[in-house]
Amino acid sequence: MEFIRPDININFVGMRMKAIALSGLLILLGIVAIIWRGGLNMGVDFSGGTLIQVKFSETTTPDAIRDALKELGIGRSAIQQVGAASDNEYIIRSDISEEKAKRVSDDIQARLDQAFGPGKSTILRVEMVGPKVGHDLRQKALLAIYYALLFIALYISGRFELKWGTSGVMAAALLLGVYLLGLTGLSMTYLIIAALAITLVLCWILKLPYALGAVVALIHDVFITVGLFALLNKEFNLTIVAALLTIVGYSLNDTIIVYDRIRENLRASRKSDLKELINRSINQTLSRTLLTSGTTLVVVIFLFVLGGTVIHDFAFALLVGIVVGTYSSIFVASPLLIVFEEWSKSGVKRRA
C-alpha cells in the first residue's frame, strides 16, 4: 500500500546539516534541563521512599495540601499534580519509612477530610520502596538500556555488513572495557556513558558504518526523550524505562527498513553516487515509514488522551519516541553512512 508516489524525490540528504543542527540543539536543551533541575525527577522506583497519590473532587493546590499535612511531618514532601488539571490528582512523595507509611495512610486521609471536607479526597495508592531497592533498580535500568544498544550494534554489524567475526571481536572488547572501567569504581551512570563511547569508537575503527549509524540514532532518540522529561520535570520511573526500550525497538525497525533498501540499491548499482543512492532509498521507503509511524502514532495519541493518569507519562514517552525515532531513521542513521564514507575517502587521500 502506497499513498506517496514511488518516484517522489525529496532531497533528505541535502537537509542533513540542518537536521544535525536541530538534533544538536534538542540534545543540548535536554542536557541543560537536567543540569538546571539537578538531575531527573526520579520516581519512588529509583529514589526510594513513599509515594501517595490522592484524588480531590474539587480544585486545590500543592500549598493547601502541604498545610493540611504539616502536622504529620510530611508537609515538606514533594507534591506534584499529575494528569490533566481537571483530574485534580496529586502525588505526594516523601522519605518516610515503610512502617510509618502503613500507619500514616489513615492519618493522611483524616487530615485531608478535616481540611477539605469528608469525601472530598480519596487516596488512590500508596507505594513504598526502600533506598537500597531503588538504587538497585536504577542500576539495572541503566544496564538494560546499555545492553539493548550493545546487542543492537552487534546484530546490525552482522546483519548488514556480514562481519559476524568482527562483531564478536567488538563484543569481547566491550565486555573487557566495561569490566576494567568497573574496577575503577566509576558510578553506573558514568560507566554506561564511557561504555557507549567505546562502542561508537569501536564501530568506527572496525569500519561498521551501519552499526555506527543505528547506535547513534538510538542514543539520539533516548537522549531527546529523556531530555524532554527533564525539561517538563516529568517523573522518571521504571515505566518510562520500559517506554525507552520500546522506543529503541521501534526506531531500530524503521532504521532497518531504510538500511535494507540502501543495501539492495547498492547491490544493484555499486557505481552510483552514495548520496543520490541513499536519498533514493529513503524516498522509496517513505510511504511505508509514514504508514507504520502514522498508524502507531494514532494508537499512542488515544492512549495519551484517554488512557488516564496511570499510563499518561508512558504514552507521552512513546509519543515523543515514535516521532523522534522516525525522524532519526531518515535524518540521522542514513546520513551517517555518508559521513563515514567521506571520512574514509579523505583518510585514504591523506595516506596517499
Q: What pLDDT score does 62 carry?
A: 80
Are residue 217 and residue 343 in the same domain, yes or no? Answer: yes
Mean pLDDT of 143-151: 74
Are residue 28 and residue 64 in the same domain, yes or no? Answer: no
In sequence order, which residues have a C-beta less than 8 Å from that of residue 103 and are 6 or more positions away? none
Report percent pLDDT > 90 for the chain: 5
Confirm whether 6 is domain-assigned.
Answer: no
Whole-angstrom CA distances from 217 to 67, 221, 247, 332 are 47, 6, 11, 6
Mean pLDDT of 162-170: 73
76-96 residue pLDDT tens = 567 777 777 777 888 877 766
Question: What is the extent of the structural domain holding 304?
Answer: 13-42+211-351
95-133 residue pLDDT tens = 665 556 556 677 777 778 887 888 788 888 777 766 555
Are residue 245 and residue 316 in the same domain, yes or no? Answer: yes
6-42 residue pLDDT tens = 667 788 888 888 888 899 899 999 889 888 888 787 7
Are residue 237 and residue 341 in the same domain, yes or no? Answer: yes
Are residue 110 and residue 29 in the same domain, yes or no? Answer: no
**Class of residue 332 by CB neighbours under 10 A (exposed 0-12, middle 13-18, buried 19+):** buried
The DSSP letter of residue 4 is: S
Cell representation of residue 49: 521512599
Q: What pLDDT score does 95 carry?
A: 64
Q: Are the CB atoms for 32 and 230 separated by under 8 Å?
A: no
Are residue 248 and residue 267 in the same domain, yes or no? Answer: yes
Q: Are the CB atoms for 233 and 37 separated by under 8 Å?
A: yes
Q: What is the CATH number of the domain that holds 234?
A: 1.20.1640.10
Confirm whether 346 is domain-assigned.
Answer: yes
Whole-angstrom CA distances from 334 to 216, 251, 258, 269 are 11, 13, 8, 18
Residue 309 pLDDT exceeds 80: no
Are residue 107 and residue 228 in the same domain, yes or no? Answer: no
Q: What pLDDT score does 99 carry?
A: 57
Mark which of 95, 129, 163 sits at the end of a domain: 129
Confirm whether 195 is domain-assigned.
Answer: no
Mark which of 100, 129, 158 sits at the end of a domain: 129
Confirm whether 186 is domain-assigned.
Answer: no
pLDDT band at 138 (very low <50, low <70, confident <90, very high): low
Number of domains in the chain: 2
Are residue 282 and residue 225 in the same domain, yes or no? Answer: yes
Confirm whether 168 is domain-assigned.
Answer: no
Confirm whether 110 is domain-assigned.
Answer: yes
Residue 349 pLDDT exceeds 60: no
Phi/psi for 79 (5° steps) reads -120, 125
Q: What pLDDT score does 3 carry?
A: 62
Residue 201 pLDDT exceeds 70: yes
Q: What pLDDT score does 324 carry?
A: 92
Confirm whether 173 is domain-assigned.
Answer: no
Question: How many Å apart are CA 63 and CA 117, to the nearest integer?
Answer: 17
Q: What pLDDT score does 320 carry?
A: 92
Are residue 89 and residue 218 in the same domain, yes or no? Answer: no
Residue 258 pLDDT exceeds 80: yes
Q: Is 1 helix (H, G, I), strand (E, B) or coil?
A: coil
Question: How many Å apart are CA 12 and CA 30, to the nearest integer?
Answer: 25
Q: What is the CATH number of the domain that holds 84?
A: 3.30.70.3400
Q: Is the pTM of this model over 0.85?
A: no
Confirm whether 220 is domain-assigned.
Answer: yes
Are residue 104 and residue 218 in the same domain, yes or no? Answer: no
Are residue 82 and residue 112 in the same domain, yes or no? Answer: yes
Mean pLDDT of 166-177: 75
Are residue 100 and residue 30 in the same domain, yes or no? Answer: no
Mean pLDDT of 247-275: 83
